[in-house]
Structure 1
């Protein structure tokens, strides 16, 4: 009888171990990193999301996996499929945190609000990948432009925000006059950008500095600011715009004169109605020199003498 009891207990114990092992295996299968996959709702008024867990750690494989998820068809039919036969990704490149997706010609069939929401969904989804900080879109190798013909430019996750549950309310349009270097790097040239769509949660002053860091979009204009420069803060008080940048600003990969860089920032910001002068600092410190010949202790005002006369 005792032997039978021992056998019964052993069987119960073995069954329990098997059950725990099975549960552990199921839990292990579910382990991984949770990502949000973004889609456009059927009314095309906002972005919706669903969670997706991936065990992939390789950045390239993860990107392919998340792109595949954007082709997902909703069983409840409560959101639109973003990628597939209508919109296809023809290629991609990843360079220094910038992921560029090249789409087929059919991308141009997207119009107005729907195009912005589709773009926001893709950018929000893929910038969750650790190696991807920013994104750019091209169509058959050509830079994506908006309805006014202006370049859309580089985007990040915070380019797109939700506002009262309606994504389109997060956007405003503005015309900007920016100043970049000429071909020889010793003067400034104007670049007029019309109907720039921007996140209404950021200031125009910060938008201007962001666009300067991204660089020009027109022929004959050349970048003035190190593209790895990060914006620490941009604030305006009593007509003075205080621009604080990280250490990367102090290094210059381009053949551009020091004063061209300084007045690229200054002249562009002074084009805004509430800015009369500019003070630049690096990580909060202005008691330093830019490239050893321009003191950042100075407050800079508009300089039209540095414009290219041609």
Structure 2
């Protein structure tokens, strides 16, 4: 009987020791924090309804190395086939150029075979991944050197992180198309040229007034139209109350790199916004301050209304 008790005690002691060893081993296997900076690599889900992301850590800080690493991750397929890698398609990147925060990525002709929501999702995954590179602020796509166009033949243009807005479930919101009537400068920079941009794809989460200002900053698409606003201008806010659209821009708006008059810039914004049914007048401010002058010759302490006198009619004025 004593012998049996001794055996039981030994077995119990061994079991306790084994449990302690397992607990210690588990503690030793606790996941160590990964070194480097965390980036989100975006992929397309298998249903092709949204983009999802996986974390990727790297200690690289060089812009070119980061581009190669992140595009490499965008080519890596999921071992469990949980999602689709956006760059694991038939098309290839021919090259890229980074200039003053604008990253231009050039693809081969195969990119044109993408269409519909699939193309938008792949583009969203690429843009949202690469725009995380510290020196990259904006991205544009070209195909064999030519600007990427959508199904209607309209140039896609410059994209940012805000171009593809996600909700809490990481699903891209529904996209809509809208026709915009915008006003840019003529070649001399002293008159306004009307430009219709058809089938502009935008996210329904973006206010139409903000979309108009974004497109003005982005610049014209049509030949014969010229930009009116410094492309480095950042939008602080765009709101509408009682028919007045309040546009608040940062200080870069004061710096005009183009040969256009102050009136043309002001009414490029005003006339474009007043085309919207809910806007009658426009108030422009710089960092929230309107009691100043734009380029020292146009007071912003005014509410601006549509100005048809500046419209270019095709005849010399």
Question: What TM-score does the superposition give when structure 1 sets the normalisation length?
Answer: 0.89
- Kindly state the Cα deviation for residue 75 of structure 1 after the two structures are TM-superposed: 0.4
Other-structure match for 2:40: 36
In the alignment, which of 89, 101, 116 is matched to residue 105 of structure 2? 101
Match of 2:12 in 1: none
- The structural deviation recorded for 1:133 is 1.1
Alpha carbons of 1:198 and 1:271: their partners in 2 closer, same or farther (altered >3 Å)? Answer: same
Other structure's SS at 2:75 match: coil
Identify the range of structure 1 (30-39 vs 219-228) with the bigger mean alpha-carbon deviation: 30-39
The reply on whether 1:298 has 2:293 as its aligned counterpart is no
The match for 1:230 is 234
Kindly state the Cα deviation for residue 253 of structure 1 after the two structures are TM-superposed. Answer: 0.6
Number of equivalent positions: 285
Verify the 8 A CA contact 1:186 1:256 in the aligned structure 2.
Answer: yes
1:269 aligns with: 273
* 8 Å CA contact 1:163, 1:170 repeated in 2: no
2-structure distance, mates of 1:231, 1:220: 26
Shift of 1:289: 0.8
Listed as ranges, the matches of 1:120-159 within 5 Å are 120-159=124-163
Displacement of 1:164 after TM fit? 6.9
Mapping for residues 189-208 of structure 1, pairs under 5 Å: 189-208=193-212
Structure 2's unaligned 5+ residue stretches are 1-27
What's 2:312 paired with? Answer: 308
SS of 1:201 mapped into structure 2: coil
Q: CA deviation at 1:304?
A: 0.9
Whole-angstrom CA distance in 2 between matches of 1:249 and 1:87: 39
Q: Which TM-score applies when normalising by structure 2? A: 0.87
Give the 3 Å change call, closer, same or farther, for CA 113–85 of structure 1 in structure 2.
closer
Looking at structure 2, the residues matched to 198 and 89 of structure 1 have their Cα atoms a distance apart, in angstroms, of: 25
Return the match for 1:63 from 48, 59, 67. 67
Residues 1:46 and 2:84 aligned together: no
Q: CA deviation at 1:135?
A: 0.6
Does the CA contact (< 8 Å) of 2:164 and 2:172 recur in 1? no
Contact 2:182 / 2:196 at 8 angstroms: preserved in 1? yes
Alignment of 1:246 onto 2:254: no
CA offset at residue 76 of structure 1? 0.5
- Contact 1:270/1:276 (CA < 8 Å) preserved in 2? yes
| SS in structure 1 at match of 2:201 | strand
In the other structure, the counterpart of 1:289 is: 293
User: Alignment partner for residue 210 of structure 1, among 208, 214, 233?
Assistant: 214
CA RMSD in angstroms, aligned pairs only: 1.6
- 2:183 alignment partner, SS class: strand
SS at match of 2:86: coil
Deviation at 1:309, TM superposition (A): 1.0
* Deviation (angstroms), 1:61: 0.6
Query: Which has more radius of gyration?
Result: 2
Q: Is 1:92 matched up with 2:96?
A: yes
Equivalent in 176, 184, 187 of residue 180 of structure 2: 176
Residues 1:116 and 2:124 aligned together: no
